[in-house]
Chain A
């Protein structure tokens, strides 16, 4: 059974600091996704990672993938209040079996 674990569950950090959210998955998967969710809102796609060593960056967020370790990280650089949200990682298989399995989410609060 595929399991996706995220940590930490909650993260409170000061503006200007750096931090990393971790996502582990238990069995081979083809793609790794990162989503952002604001309270009461839908999910916004941030990154899709496919291959080992893939790194993608958008503003203060950078995601990486290590398929051998089954680990993805979401790194936040010099956090700002606007990044406060819940972040989810999720994985799926390709080639006819596309359905997402989600991690538990990390609620990130940026303190001024």
Chain B
């Protein structure tokens, strides 16, 4: 099984619908992230969580919300989907601090979301 699992892999939804993207991890990491990828823009941070009780907005949080149900689970919701939220979404975890050059991030396989 993958260390970071995202569901669904692909989703088409209609404008105005509420949709949830789910992420679960078996790494045992406290730190989890949601990124959005658009062509020519790289990956941009939506929300991040350093532990179950710590949720922080990233650079593009408007229109999104998150829930950290447990250490292993971090969900991203689009309350009312709009077409410009069509993108590839990645969940990631990271090693604990203090790892120096051995620090790493583990990415899920991504969820391709299309809003029509």
What residues of chain A have their CB less than 8 Å away from a CB belonging to chain B?
A: 4, 6, 9, 31, 33, 40-43, 45, 48-51, 54, 88, 90, 92, 94-96, 98-105
Please determine whether A88 and B42 come into contact, CB atoms closer than 8 angstroms.
yes
- Are A94's CB and B42's CB within 8 A? no
B102 touches A48 (CB 8 A): yes
Given known contacts A42-B109, A42-B110, A99-B48, is B102 in contact with A104 (CB within 8 Å)?
Answer: no
Identify B45's interface contact among A43, A51, A96, A99, CB under 8 A: A99
Bound CA span A49–B107, Å: 19
A96 to B95, CA, bound (A): 11
Classify chain B's interface size.
20 to 34
A99 touches B101 (CB 8 A): no
A-B contact count (CB 8 A): 67
Residue numbers of B with Cβ under 8 A of A are: 31, 33, 35, 40-45, 48, 50, 58, 90, 92, 94, 97-98, 100-105, 107-110, 112
List the B side residues contacting A4 at CB < 8 Å. 42
- Give the CA-CA distance A10 to B106 in the complex, in Å: 26
Please give, as numbers and ranges, the residues of chain B lying within 8 Å of A33 by CB-CB distance. Answer: 105
Residues of B within 8 A of A101 (CB): 45
Chain A: CB-nearest residue to B102: A48
Complex-state Cα separation, A58 to B74, whole angstroms: 33
A–B Cβ pairs within 8 angstroms, 7 of them: A4-B42, A45-B105, A48-B104, A94-B97, A94-B103, A100-B105, A101-B45
